Amino acid sequence: MNEKEKIQEELRKLRDDRMYRTVMNLKTRAETIQDENGQEVQEMIVEGQAVTFESETTLFKCGETEYKEVIDRNAFNEADMSDVIFNYNHSGKVVARTRNNTLRLNIDSNGLNIEARLDGTDEGRKLYEEIKGGYIDRMSFCFTIKEESYNQETHTWRVLKIDKLYDVSAVDIPAYDTTSISARSSRLAVAEKEQKALERAQLQKERSRKLLLKTY
């Protein structure tokens, strides 16, 4: 593997590590303020709770088993949130960001709350109107995990430490009313391993049952 291929592989791994969580929790409000010249300016603000602590979210279903996730209330204590952006579908032009104070993040006992001011760009103003009109009503955040635990009995991952929060986005995901999940390949591997073990156990049970019937 040459140097270019190594770099591409590292970038692929980085993308694979990023997680996305989507919630139907986005609303608008407008405030009129005076600028430095004394003229009235309307602030276009969207806000909502991007993360709810200690709340189970179903990630995916494998066989008949639901695999879930809970974000610990201390998960953001050491997270890098030095430069978080607000955009559209995790790929559109940046319309707010923490670095210029147009995006504000607030963590309370319930979760991570966001407030984004969108009147600074043409794209932001358009996005605000689409959210206000109900065309876009979901919010998603992109992050990487530093530490987590897994409960095999309940099939639940607990996110203990978030490494970095990359962005919070307004998203339009038709056909999903509550959540859309991107799960890391390592989590899918856990589920697949458990399902194969369950299938083997069921097969062995069936063989034992048939063998028992033959003895009678």
| pLDDT tens, residue by residue, 44-100 | 999 999 899 999 988 888 888 889 999 999 999 999 999 999 999 888 899 999 999
Contact 143, 18 (CB under 8 A): yes
Domain ranges of the chain: 3-214
Half-sphere exposure of 4 (CA within 13 A, CB side): 0
Q: Are strands 156-171 and 65-71 parallel, antiparallel or unpaired?
A: parallel
Residue 182 has pLDDT above 70, yes or no: no
Residue 37 identity (one-letter amino acid): N
Stretch 199-206: mean pLDDT? 79
Task: Report phi then psi at 98, rounded to 5.
Answer: -65, -30
- Cβ neighbours of residue 138 closer than 8 Å, sequence gap 6 or more: 22, 23, 24, 25, 26, 170, 171, 172, 173, 176
- Cβ neighbours of residue 190 closer than 8 Å, sequence gap 6 or more: 67, 150
Contact 131, 112 (CB under 8 A): no
Stretch 103-115: mean pLDDT? 95
Taking alpha carbons only, the member of 108, 17, 14, 22 closest to residue 58 is: 22
pTM of the model: 0.76
Contact 154, 66 (CB under 8 A): no
Residue 146 has pLDDT above 70, yes or no: yes
Taking alpha carbons only, the member of 76, 54, 84 closest to residue 161 is: 76
Stretch 116-142: mean pLDDT? 93
